[in-house]
Amino acid sequence: MFDFMGRSSTPKYQNYTHLGDDSGSYYDIQDKSDEPKVGTSFKHVAVLYTIIILLLIIQILSVIRIRPISELGSLGSYEAGFATEIRPDAKTLSPHKVKFSGGIIFDENGTASISHTPGEPDYFGPPSLETEGIWENVLRDRFLKVEPKDWPSEAIQPQEQDLVEGSWRVDGFHVLHCLNYVRKSLSPEYYTRHKDPPNPDPKSLTHSGHLKHCLEQIRQSLMCQLDMTPTPRTWRPAPAGRKGRGIFHADTDQWHVCRNFEAMRTWMSPLQEYHTRK
């Protein structure tokens, strides 16, 4: 049959596949597709729990790490300076590793000697002008001008008459001065002034009194900044030791973490802002 346009009026039917007796399978498929995907949900939960656990671990580590710092924060730190110190800058106080020397060593014959770093001055060499020059170089330019605004709040507050330009020196250099005084006291035949006079003036500190003062300063400084670097007590085989039988002895030539002494000296040099006089 044709319509008036000449087109066939016979309906065209689409071909469909018969579902047969298993007609419910189509709906089963539809229902299964609507069900939640168990595998994907489990992965999401696992990821979520992993993130929570990681955050808890980070939080715990933060508490462990920050708590001691917060407790000691008001006192400062070795790297940044303590509350009782004047603080130059981070570069001056930055720590670095130093290999100590001066330990006891024994050669193949068992003869004992002191180790020495090549190029280092012999600070405790025989009394001479050369040794004096070494210590003068260490102790030079050690007096500073400290403005009242830079005075550490935790330190003893100075009186008005104490605020004299160039009358301060950092305690470490006072301790080094004391160490040099002890060195001189070991050679009274060379340093003739480092001994008590026959009739000492009670209003003047004697050599013995000065020496005791210096030893006290060294003791307190060492105990205050107690170095926790381990020092092994190693076996030195025969023929070392008494009667050549070998000996256990401290091996003090170890690596230490120290403040940079040369950086501090540079900061204290005459060309620097805070230096005033020798």
Q: How many CB atoms lie within 10 A of CB 124?
A: 14
User: What count of residues does the chain have?
Assistant: 278
SS3 172: helix
Specify the residue for token string 């040369």.
Answer: 262
Instruction: Decide: 123 and 135 in contact? Cβ < 8 Å.
Output: yes
**pLDDT confidence band for 167 (50 / 70 / 90):** low
- Alpha carbon dihedral 104, 106, 112, 114, in 10-degree steps, equals -40
The answer to whether residue 41 scores a pLDDT higher than 80 is: no
Q: Which of residues 270 and 87 earns the better pLDDT score?
A: 87
Say what the pLDDT of residue 60 is: 79
Q: Which of residues 188 and 62 earns the better pLDDT score?
A: 188
The answer to whether residue 278 scores a pLDDT higher than 50 is: no
Say what the pLDDT of residue 27 is: 44
Specify the residue for token string 């008494």.
Answer: 242
The answer to whether residue 154 scores a pLDDT higher than 50 is: yes
Cis-peptide, bond into residue 232, ω within 30° of zero? no
The answer to whether residue 212 scores a pLDDT higher than 80 is: yes
Q: How many CB atoms lie within 10 A of CB 139?
A: 16
- Does an H or E element contain 265, and which? helix 261-267
Say what the pLDDT of residue 64 is: 53
CA distance 266 to 123: 20
The answer to whether residue 50 scores a pLDDT higher than 80 is: yes
Partnered with residue 154 across adjacent β-strands are none
Task: Provide the percentage of residues in the chain whose pLDDT is more than 70.
Answer: 75
The answer to whether residue 137 scores a pLDDT higher than 90 is: yes
- Residues 230-236, mean pLDDT to the nearest whole number: 95
Task: Provide the percentage of residues in the chain whose pLDDT is more than 90.
Answer: 44
Say what the pLDDT of residue 98 is: 96
CA distance 267 to 127: 30
For residue 201, what are the CA distances in angstroms to 131, 204, 208, 238?
Answer: 31, 5, 13, 54
**pLDDT confidence band for 162 (50 / 70 / 90):** low
- Residues 155-178, mean pLDDT to the nearest whole number: 78
CA distance 226 to 97: 16
- Residues 194-213, mean pLDDT to the nearest whole number: 92
The answer to whether residue 211 scores a pLDDT higher than 80 is: yes
Specify burial of residue 131 (Cβ count, 10 A radius: 0-12, 13-18, 19+).
buried
Q: What is the DSSP string of 173-185?
A: HHHHHHHHHHHHH
Say what the pLDDT of residue 4 is: 42
pTM here is 0.69
CA distance 88 to 91: 8
